[in-house]
């Protein structure tokens, strides 16, 4: 590692070696040496690169791609109806913190403001979108993704695609998942299995449980059951309930041990419990009460 793999020159003050970007196993003094050594290194490089990729793919994420609520610092629930996107600051707030803020404002006769940045909350859908566009112009990845979602819901897939693409370049994990869906269905772009898989894997590495479940299904289709089971276990550990179904089926077929299934069930319940709080329960009760009154 202290010498060029092609010419053997040692790294000294006037010679700087660079790692092979794919496998990190060897180093080169320049592009010419890297090209010359490629035929000898290609097979080993591909094997090691695949190993490194698998290490990333099968590493248990600390949390989901949603992260924590910026106010109560508890994990955000996977159910999108239990979180609110604030157009003013593009922060995803749990419904418990939003409900607590609204109750405080009602009790103290205060104007309604964002519980995070304290800016006035938009009073209409038009104002919400106007604020969101300001965040888009500021290159906020969450705002870019949200605009992509709007175009997606309008079935304007060609215009949704650039928003998702730009958001992925800024690290938005959800946009990777949405791009994988566009490439899979050929919506706004040509169907491309390779690009679909790339974005699906990037979403998986970022902690997206839906993407991981889907990747497990892809592996099962490719007859790689062991890899599929690993993905479903990790997704279940993140609190994704749907992954428990194929895991239970695999257990019945003798493909998953009782110990591993029990561990996945415990981890799933722990992840779900971590997203609960008294304030979130109050918000859920209030939501159900409003729905009952409307019916």
**Sequence-distant contacts of 50-59: CB under 8 A, at least 24 apart:** 52/23, 52/24, 53/201, 56/205, 57/201, 57/204, 57/205, 57/215, 58/230, 58/231, 58/234, 59/205
Q: What is the pLDDT of residues 20-44, one digit of tens each?
A: 888 888 898 888 988 989 898 889 8
Q: What is the pLDDT of residues 96-143, one digit of tens each?
A: 999 999 999 999 999 989 999 998 888 777 888 888 888 999 899 999
Look at residue 130 in the predicted model and tell me its pLDDT.
85
Model's pTM, two decimal places?
0.86
Residue 10 has pLDDT above 90, yes or no: no
Instruction: Give percent of the chain with pLDDT exceeding 90.
Output: 66
Residue 158 has pLDDT above 80, yes or no: yes
Residue 14 has pLDDT above 80, yes or no: no
Hey, what CATH class is 139-207 in? mainly alpha
Look at residue 6 in the predicted model and tell me its pLDDT.
87
Domain boundaries of the chain, sorted by first residue: 18-57, 63-121, 139-207, 208-271
Look at residue 23 in the predicted model and tell me its pLDDT.
86
Find all residues with CB under 8 Å of 149, minimum gap 6, and list them: 160, 178
**Sequence-distant contacts of 9-16: CB under 8 A, at least 24 apart:** none
């Amino acid at each position: 590692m202290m010498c060029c793999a092609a010419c053997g020159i040692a790294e000294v003050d006037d010679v700087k070696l660079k790692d092979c970007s794919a496998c990190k196993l060897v180093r080169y003094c320049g592009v010419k040496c890297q090209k010359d050594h490629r035929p000898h290194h290609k097979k080993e490089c591909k094997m090691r690169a695949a190993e490194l990729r698998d290490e990333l793919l099968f590493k248990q994420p600390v949390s989901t791609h949603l992260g924590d609520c910026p106010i109560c610092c508890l994990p955000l629930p996977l159910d999108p109806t239990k979180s609110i996107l604030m157009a003013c600051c593009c922060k995803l707030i749990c419904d418990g913190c939003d409900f607590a803020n609204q109750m405080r404002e009602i009790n103290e006769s205060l104007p309604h403001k964002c519980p995070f940045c304290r800016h006035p909350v938009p009073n209409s859908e038009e104002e919400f979108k106007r604020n969101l566009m300001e965040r888009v112009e500021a290159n906020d990845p969450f705002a870019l993704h949200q605009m992509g979602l709007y175009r997606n819901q309008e079935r304007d897939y060609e215009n949704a695609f650039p928003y998702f693409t730009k958001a992925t370049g800024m690290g938005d994990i959800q946009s990777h998942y949405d791009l994988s869906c566009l490439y899979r269905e050929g919506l706004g772009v040509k169907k491309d299995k390779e690009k679909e898989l790339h974005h699906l894997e990037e979403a998986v590495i970022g902690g997206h449980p839906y993407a991981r479940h889907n990747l497990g299904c892809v592996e099962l289709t490719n007859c790689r059951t062991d890899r599929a089971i690993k993905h479903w276990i990790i997704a279940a550990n993140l609190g994704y309930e749907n992954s428990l179904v194929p895991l239970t089926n695999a257990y019945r077929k003798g493909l998953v041990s009782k110990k591993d299934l029990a561990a996945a069930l415990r981890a799933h319940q722990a992840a779900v419990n971590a997203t609960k709080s008294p304030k979130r329960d109050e918000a859920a009760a209030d939501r159900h009460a409003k729905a009952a009154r409307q019916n």
